[in-house]
Chains A and B, each alone.
Chain A
Amino acid sequence: MKNELPPFAPGIFRLNGAGTPPVLLGSRCPDCGRHCFPACDLCPDCLGTPASVELGSSGRIYSHTVVRTKPPLGLPAPYAVGYVDLVDCGLRVFALLDPAQIGRFSIGLPVRLAVAALGNDGHGEPRLRPYFTADLA
């Protein structure tokens, strides 16, 4: 993992040290309790001021697909994406899935967050992106 690379966008995930998985970052509104991913600075429900929170690392696949057209942003061909239900906060988030595990995803499969150099910034410069991976036997 080339952690010296910049992330594709700021404030999306936090890399933790070796042995601790990275976490997705979001926000929670203290007034109405709404979680947001990515984090927002104004609650879209009550216009309260959300606080930054960690949204955890684990989830379950709600749906998944493999995109086989010419990939955008230098993503691998093919690449996998899905909606993942986050265990800690209940949000359903769109996410990349581990391109090395194509063909092995199923709905309900437990997955955890990983971060690696995946795709570029639109101008060919490599970027870190979060993706979900499964602990497959």
Chain B
Amino acid sequence: MTEVHVIGVGMTPFQRAAREDLAGLAREAALLALRDAGLPPAEVGGGFFANVLGPQLTGEMTAGQFVMATVGVRRVPIVNVENACTSGSTALWLAVNGIRSGEFDVALVIGAEKMSVPGLGLLHGGSAEIETQLGLVMPASFALRAIRYQHEFGATERQLAEVAVKNRRHAAHNPLAQFRDPVTLEQVLASPLIADPITRLQCCPMADGAAAAVLASGRVARSRQRAVRVDAAVLCTGSYENPADLVRWETDRRGCQMAYERAGIGPQDLDVVECHDAFTIAEILHTESMGLCGPGEGVRLVEEGATALGGRIPVNVSGGLLSRGHPLAATGCAQLVEIVQQLRGEAGARQVEGARVGLAECMGGDQSADAKSCTAIVVSR
């Protein structure tokens, strides 16, 4: 099978109320990725543009073709992608499969979101759904997992809050993260309750931002010293089993397991992980789903420092969604940007020493106590 490599990455700062509009943010990330790849845009054979809220907020369609044209990508197939929080990683999955199929040798993937707009409330899974009509908002969905997790494993609120402290400590070394000041456990716990037991500092903030990657076939990547190989790119969908187990996330486990099998590795082979820490409890559940520890052991992993920079398996050294902020469609691409920089040894003060194998895990959408979409991407160097 055709090998696929990441040969260029780029990312804008993630921040509230960015000056640039959606297209401006997307263009900036795309230019950084193309320059990082050192590749003229005429070489790009396919484009994938991920964005969630644009059509809803502005009524604009096919933003991808517009943005790609501004960075010299025309004539080739371009697809606009929406898959909630996994939009960016779904666009990467499409690009990987397009290259593997031989459809093109080089693809440009952009994930971009502009969400600092007045009146955008809490996000939900769809206004027509009964759950939404009964008051299911995203923080409640994860608070329900947290309460159940505490009940089954005896975890404390302090243990959950440790995730926010760790990821903020990481973000101090990431100049593109929205929040870079350290927070104490007391500050996290004392911030306002959003949905019991989740406090504000345990929820990812909104952000505007964009991230991009240039992917290429082995043939194009061969001579490139900084190329990072994609060993597995998995996209899967919720099973919506009822009753659903809120603390052993079947969809998450299935996605990660499939990625390990395809990459021919196990969780013990990972050096660095970015996962979808939209809330503190989410990172705990994901570390367990990824097999970094057993069910109920995720809180201890954080407490012992295993998932901190310098620990056994650092998780979210970028600061994660909790510190970067979560510009929906940009997140999946930003995770890959981080892992690629780590594997190249270009992550500066947050470098995981000797990182060779990384995993980016992302989930999106909310339906019937399950995620609608899950991606797991394994890369190595």
A107 within 8 A of B: yes
Taking a contact as CB atoms closer than 8 A, the residue among B135, B148, B151, B240 that contacts A81 in the complex is: B135
A49 within 8 A of B: no
Q: A63-B144, A67-B140, A107-B147 are in contact. Are A83 and B133 (CB under 8 A)?
A: no
Q: A66-B196, A68-B196, A72-B122 are in contact. Are A94 and B131 (CB under 8 A)?
A: yes
* Most chain A beta carbons < 10 A, residue from B122, B133, B143, B192: B133
Q: How far is the CA of A82 from the CA of B246 in the complex (A)?
A: 12
A38 within 8 A of B: yes
Pairwise interchain contact B144-A96, C-beta atoms closer than 8 A: no
CB distance from A30 to the nearest CB of B (A): 18
Q: How far is the CA of A83 from the CA of B121 in the complex (A)?
A: 23
CB distance from A12 to the nearest CB of B (A): 7
Per-residue CB contact flags for chain A residues 68-91 toward chain B (1 = under 8 Å, else 0) read: 111111010001011101000011
Pairwise interchain contact B144-A65, C-beta atoms closer than 8 A: yes
Closest residue of chain A to B144 (Cβ to Cβ) is A63
When distances are taken between beta carbons in the complex, the residues of chain A under 8 Å from B243 are 62, 85, 90-92
Closest residue of chain B to A86 (Cβ to Cβ) is B243
When distances are taken between beta carbons in the complex, the residues of chain A under 8 Å from B127 are 122
B176-194 interface with A by 8 A CB criterion: 192-194
When distances are taken between beta carbons in the complex, the residues of chain B under 8 Å from A8 are 133-134
When distances are taken between beta carbons in the complex, the residues of chain A under 8 Å from B140 are 65, 67, 81
Q: A12-B130, A91-B242 are in contact. Are A63 and B148 (CB under 8 A)?
A: yes
Q: How far is the CA of A10 from the CA of B146 in the complex (A)?
A: 32
A117 within 8 A of B: no
Pairwise interchain contact A92-B195, C-beta atoms closer than 8 A: no
A1-46 interface with B by 8 A CB criterion: 8-9, 12, 35, 38, 44
B117-161 interface with A by 8 A CB criterion: 121-122, 124, 127, 130-137, 139-140, 143-148, 151
When distances are taken between beta carbons in the complex, the residues of chain A under 8 Å from B240 are 44
Sampled A-B contacts (23; CB under 8 Å): A12-B130, A44-B240, A63-B148, A63-B151, A65-B196, A66-B195, A68-B194, A69-B137, A69-B139, A72-B121, A72-B122, A72-B124, A72-B137, A79-B135, A81-B144, A83-B369, A85-B243, A90-B243, A91-B242, A92-B243, A95-B134, A107-B148, A129-B134
